[in-house]
Amino acid sequence: MRIVCVSDTHDRHSRMVIPEGDVLIHSGDLTMNGDSADVERGFAWLSTLPHERVVFVPGNHDFAFAELPEIVTILAAKFPRVDVLVDRETTIGAYRAYGSPYQPWFHDWAFNFSPGARGEREAEARWAMIPDYTAILITHGPVRGILDRTIGGEHAGCPQLRARIVELEQLELHVCGHIHEAYGAEKHGAILYVNASSCDAKYWPTQPPIVVELDAAGVRVSDLCGE
């Protein structure tokens, strides 16, 4: 199965070239300001993509999903090809997948955990919702210490998410975004971590989609990545 991973497109999708594949995963920040009109325009674009499955997890810029939870139902009726995951599971091919938009406190944007110890408890409770059998995990934010270094050199990922991932024995692929400058892919043990941020630190879509192959032989970045 060929999975095309993008994230943090921030209304710049018209400037992007999207490779062919079986599945398109967008891990959040489809918009810049996140109002309903912006989201609808983004979903209209997602609906034009030729992939058999299109799976989307909102990001911290996609405010409409946090402020109007009913928008998920509205969008499902209007754009049925796009599967929205907000703390919800689905299947992608033969694999069980789960998606969540949350991340540690970050400039008072959408889907933030609270600052400090309270936020740590919120994160532990939120990530406990991830089913143990999850094989593909999609979150907007990265885990602490993997593809999460900001332009200022700080690690912005979630330590509680990393602790939960250790417990997911069937996990093969984690797709995220959020920290544009940490774009890339790294394999740690059996898990391939992908930060698919399409926009760079200046919000220009200079970072190509990351293409992943997932099958009985395991998970790996495709040699065609970026074409």
pLDDT at 223: 54
Q: What is the CATH number of the domain that holds 215?
A: 3.60.21.10
164 part of a folded domain: yes
pLDDT at 143: 98
pLDDT at 30: 98
**For the purposes of burial, counting CB atoms within 10 Å of the CB of 151, is it exposed (0-12), middle (13-18) or buried (19 or more)?**
exposed
227 part of a folded domain: no
Across the chain, which has 227 residues, the per-10-residue mean pLDDT values are 98 94 98 93 97 97 94 96 97 97 90 95 98 98 97 94 98 98 97 98 96 95 61
154 part of a folded domain: yes
86 part of a folded domain: yes
DSSP string, 132-183: TT-SEEEESSPBTTSS-B-TTS-B-SBHHHHHHHHT-TT--EEEE-S-GGG-
- Provide the domain count of the chain: 1
226 part of a folded domain: no
Please name every residue paired with 195 in a beta bridge, in sequence order, or none if there are none. Answer: 176, 184
pLDDT at 106: 81
Q: Which domain holds residue 10?
A: 2-221
199 part of a folded domain: yes
pLDDT at 226: 45
Task: Kindly report the pTM of this predicted structure.
Answer: 0.96
90 part of a folded domain: yes
DSSP string, 35-90: -HHHHHHHHHHHHH---SEEEE---TT-HHHHH-TTHHHHHHHH-TTEEE-SSEEE
